[in-house]
Amino acid sequence: MPGGAEQQTMRVYLRVRPFSKEELYDNEDQDCVVIENSQTVTLNAPKGSATMKSSEKGIGMSLHKFSFSKIFGPERTQSELFEDTVKSQMSDFLDGKNALIFSYGVTNAGKTYTIQGTPKQPGILPRVLDATFHYTGGRQYEGMDLKPYLRNDAQYLDPDQVKQERSAKAAIFASVKDVISCLSMNLGSIFSLYSSPLVLASDPTEAGSSQFALWVAFFEIYNECVYDLLQPSLCSKSKKRAALRVCDDGAGNAYVKDLRWINIQTLGEASKLLQFGNKNRSAAATKMNQSSSRSHSIFTMKLLKIDGSSVKRISEFSLCDLAGSERCNKTKTFGERLKEAGNINNSLLILGKCINALRNNQTDRMKSSYIPFRESKLTKLFQAVFCGKGKASMIVNINQCASTYDETLHVMKFSAVAKQVVQVIPDKPLESLAPCLVGRDGKPLVRNGVIDSQALESCLSEEELLDDEDEADMSLLPQNEIVTMIETLRTKLLTERRRNLVQEMEIRKEMGDAMLQQLMESEELRSRQIEELKESYQEKLENTFEMYKDAFKEHAYQSAMNNLEDDYVPLDEFIAEQEKVEVCPLIKKRLMELNETLQYVRDGFLEKSADLETLQRKADDQVR
C-alpha cells in the first residue's frame, strides 16, 4: 500500500422494509428476519423454503447470522439513513474525492424508495443534491463554458456550444409540467435538522474563494445497453432509443460516450431532471411488484471547483439503483420480461464475481485471479472506484416475507462477501500517464504540465556550459576584454540552451499529446469497427436463422401436401363406399331371413317325402 493511503473495508448497510397490509394478510410474517442489534441480524428459514428442506436432509443450516456496518430496521426514517450512511461520503465528495453508492436486493425490497424516496419522504439522492447546493450556495459558477469531458477532464465551450447547452436544458424543462413540488419544501432547511454539520478536510477559507459548477447525468443499463434518460427525443414513442457506447479514456477509466450532461443550479431544476428521467426509465409490472424497475439506473454528479477561469479539481458522486434480482417462477415473467430478468440476473452475477475476485485477491496475494470487470457494462463503468479511485458503499435492501426467504438469503451471502473487500484510497489522486521530459540528472523538467524552473536552472548549470576542450585560446587579447567576451558568450549560450530546452519540451509534449490522441482515435476506430462487425455478423446470423426457419416451414408444408395427395379420395367414391358400408348389414340380415325360410321349406319337404313313402308302403302292402 502506498504511503499515506487510507485502507478500509467496504461499507455495507442493511435496510429492512416493513410489511404491507397484503403481506400480513397472506401470513408472510413468520419471524424470518430477526435484528439482534445495530450490526447483527439472524435469518430463520421458514417451513416450505428450499433452505429448510435442505437442512432437514442434513445439507446446510436453517439458521444464518450476518453482520453489517449498520442495520436500519423498518422504523428507521430516510433522514436517519442519510445521516448514518451517506454523510461521510458526502463530505468526501465536496472535498474533491469520488464516491459511489449502490442499492442491492431482490425485487420489491425498497431499493428505489431508498435512493429516490417520495415527495414527502425524500431519499438519498435528493438529500445529496440539497447538501451540495447548501455547500455551494452563493459560490456557484454562473457560466456554462466549463463542462466535464471524458471521465476526469473538463473542456471549454465556445459561445455557440454554451447556447446549445442552454437550449437542451430548456427543452427538458419545457417537457416537464411545472408543478409545485413538495421536494423543495421538505429539503429547504434539511441541514438545520441534523445533529452535526458536514465536516470537510479542505480549508474553508480556500473553498470560500472558489466557485463551483454542478453537472449531472442520468442514464440506465437496460438489456446490457446504455440509454440516456435525459434525451428529449425519448418522448416520441415512434422513435427507437439510441444505445450509447462505453469507451475508455486512455488512462484505464471507462465513460459513456455522447452522454448528455446538464448544468443545474437549484434543487427545483434537479427535481425536474429526476422527474423527466424517471418517466423515460424502463419499468414493467410483475407478480411481485406493480412497478418493477427493469434496468440499472445511474445518477452521476460532477462538481467542478473553479478558480478564476481554470478548473482546479473534479469530484464525482454516483448513485446506482440496481434492478432487483428475481426468480422467474415467482414473478411469473415470460417473453420480454423473461429476457429482461435474464440480463438483470447476469449483470448482478458478474458484479458478484468481481466482488468475490477482489476479496480472494486480497486474502491470497499469491493466487491472484482475473477480475471480470469488462464482462458487464455495469462493472466496467465502476471499475475505477472499486480499484481505489473513490469510496464505494452498498445499501442492501430486503423484505421480511417468508415467500422470498431463499432469494433474501442469497442477497445476504453476497453482502457478506462485499463487506470483506478492502479499499485502498490514496491521499493524492493518481497522476495521469503523460509524456515527460527529464534533465541530465534524471529529474523531470515538466510537473503537472508546467515547466519546473528550478530543474531547468539545475540542468543549465554553469559547469555544463563549456567543456575544457571547447575553451578557446584568447591570451592575445587584453584581460578585461577576454572576461567581457567570456561573460557575453556564456550568457548567449545559456540563453540559447534554455530556449532550445524549452522548445524541445514543447515539441516533445506536443508530439506526445498528438501520439496519445492518435492512439485514442485508433482505439476508438477499432472499437467502432468491432461493434459494426459484431452487428453485421449478428444481422447475418439473424438472416440465416430466418432463412432456415422459412425453409423448414416450406418443407413441412410440402410434406403435408404430399401426404394429403397420397391419401386423397374423391367425394363420390367416398359416399358410395360409405353407402355400401351402410347397406351391407341389411343384406346380411335379408340373407339370414332367406336361409331360415329355405331351411323351413326344406324341412317341410322332407316331412312330406317321408309321409309319401309311408303311404306308398301301405298301398304296396294292400295290393299284395
Q: Binding site for ATP, residues?
A: 105-112
**Cα angle: 235, vertex 238, 240; to 5 degrees:** 85
Rounded CA separation 144/259 (Å): 17
3-state secondary structure of 294: coil
- What is the rounded distance in angstroms from the CA atom of residue 116 to the CA atom of residue 282? 16
Contact 96, 202 (CB under 8 A): yes
**φ, ψ at 311 (rounded to 5°):** -90, 120
Question: 154 and 314 in contact (C-beta within 8 Å)?
Answer: yes
SS3 367: coil
Torsion sign (Cα): 173, 183, 89, 65: negative
Q: ∠146-149-151 over CA atoms, to 5°?
A: 135
Residue 424 and residue 388 in contact, taking contact as beta carbons nearer than 8 Å:
yes
CB half-sphere exposure, 79, CA atoms < 13 A: 12
Cite the annotated binding site by residue number: 105-112
Q: Does an H or E element contain 99, and which?
A: strand 99-105
Element housing 24 (H / E) = helix 21-25
Return the axis-axis angle of helices 124-136 and 87-94, rounded to nearest 10°.
40
Q: CA-CA distance, 243 to 413, in Å (whole number)?
A: 34
Contact indicator for 317, 128 with CB cutoff of 8 Å: yes
Pairing of strands 246-248, 292-293: unpaired
Q: Give the integer Cα–Cα distance in Å for 550 and 532.
A: 27
* Among 393, 299, 317, CA closest to 85: 393
